[in-house]
Chain A
Amino acid sequence: MKKYSAKNLFIVFVILALLSSCTSLRAVNNFSSVSSTGLSKFEEIPNSFTRHCLERCVSENIRKLEIKRTADCDCSNYQKADSVTLLIYLSIRGYFEGLTDVSANDLTHYKLDDLSASLTAGTFGDIKIDQQQADAYKMVSTILLDAVTGNYRKNKIKKYVGEANQPLQVLLNKFQFILQQNLEGELNFKKEKLYAYYRELLLNDALNDYEKEKAATEYYEALSAVNEEQHRIDLFANSLQDIAEGHQKIYDNRNKMTGKELSDSLIVYQSAISDAVSQFNKLKK
């Protein structure tokens, strides 16, 4: 009786260890996977510093009633701005993709079928292993392997999250700043230029009332298009805040939280990121 109890206790212990490592890994996996998807939306934002420069160059020529064989625009500083933004984006995305992969349970679901088949393939000297025994060894080995690798990955993730949090917060913060203050800022200038251009048109005595009305309609359409572009950038940039807060949560609780608690606390951020992705997709349509 005692023997069975000890055996049962061991199995319960192994299964609990396995479940505990799996659930907290799953919470990290879900959050980092949703964050990766959210981050990837950056590639669907059509605005960039270079595009802004090229559009400015063309509209400048139109305003001056000039046509040129080549647009002849010096956008090198704007290209540099895009390179910096892209570098920050790729680094953040690379980290979250790595975190998603290393926390995925599939990574260490090793197939032991070959090993089990080899063991039952024949007689090894005096030892003969039957199918039932081989299957039992396989089952126990799978549980132990999952528990060991699950905890190994959990410890590794603790280490990575611990080291990555501070630089990640800096990068996410700067990424948000670039998008909301600088890229959206460029669009504020675009709006002011539209206002100046159409205001001058309306003050022009050479235009009749019908032409002025048409110009005013054009202005409001152009303004609305720029506002929509800003809204799209804003949606994406705000989701960076949720990613930063979610990662901070994992960092703060990396040493004490159980899988369930971590999962519950991350769900708020996951929902916010998913919601932003959904709104972003709606705007595209």
Chain B
Amino acid sequence: MAKLTSAQANALANDFLGLAQAIGDFRYDNWNEMSKTQNQQLGKLQWSILNYGEDILALSTALAMDDVQASLDQINGITLEIKATIQQLQNVQKVISVAASIITLGGAIISKDPSSIKNGLQGVINSWKGE
């Protein structure tokens, strides 16, 4: 048997609403003609149909998952790719900073000044760590 779709469930819920409205109108129009018991029974039926209709709308939403699962997977996959690209582009700044600190270290090594070399090395470490 074919599975109920989200759209079919929604249409069914609307049918339930229409049915409950029709029963309600019949009750109000014949309020004085019906016995109390008949009225109560019809009232209970009307209310139950309304409750079922609401439950079916919730079901329709849950059933929507079947229609969107593949699309959700695709979009979430693309979003991950976008985030990876952003990360990659942000890393370029880090590469520039590291390159700058290596050039400074190079200058320090050529100058043969131990203090500058020490500072230059620290600069490379700091830029690598992103400090």
Contact = CB atoms under 8 A, between A and B. Distances in A.
A196 interface: yes
B93 interface: yes
A58 interface: no
A92 B89 contact: no
Most chain A Cβ neighbours within 10 Å, of B72, B82, B99, B110: B82
Contacts of A11: none
B107 A124 contact: yes
Interface string A26-57: 00000000000000000000000100110010
Contact of A192 (B21, B58, B64, B74): B21
How many of chain B's residues touch chain A, expressed as a range?
Answer: 35 or more
A189 B62 contact: no
Contacts of A220: none
Contact of A52 (B14, B54, B103): B54
Contact of A77 (B59, B86, B104): B59
Contacts of B99: 115
Interface of B is mostly: helix
Given A124-B106, A124-B110, A171 B60 contact: no
B61 A102 contact: no
B90 A107 contact: yes
A26 B97 CA distance: 27
B113 to A, nearest CB: 10
Nearest to A168: B75
A117 interface: yes
B28 A203 contact: yes
A101 B70 CA distance: 25
A189 B20 CA distance: 10
A192 B104 contact: no
A71 interface: no
Interface in A162-181: 163-164, 166-168, 170-171, 174, 177-178, 181
Across the A-B interface, give the 7 residue pairs with the lowest CB-CB distance, nearest first. Answer: A98-B82, A167-B71, A81-B61, A114-B100, A118-B103, A167-B74, A170-B71
Interface of B: 6-7, 10, 13-14, 17, 20-21, 24, 28, 31, 43, 46-47, 50-51, 53-55, 57-62, 64-65, 67-68, 70-72, 74-76, 78-79, 81-83, 85-86, 89-90, 92-93, 96-97, 99-101, 103-104, 106-107, 110-111, 127
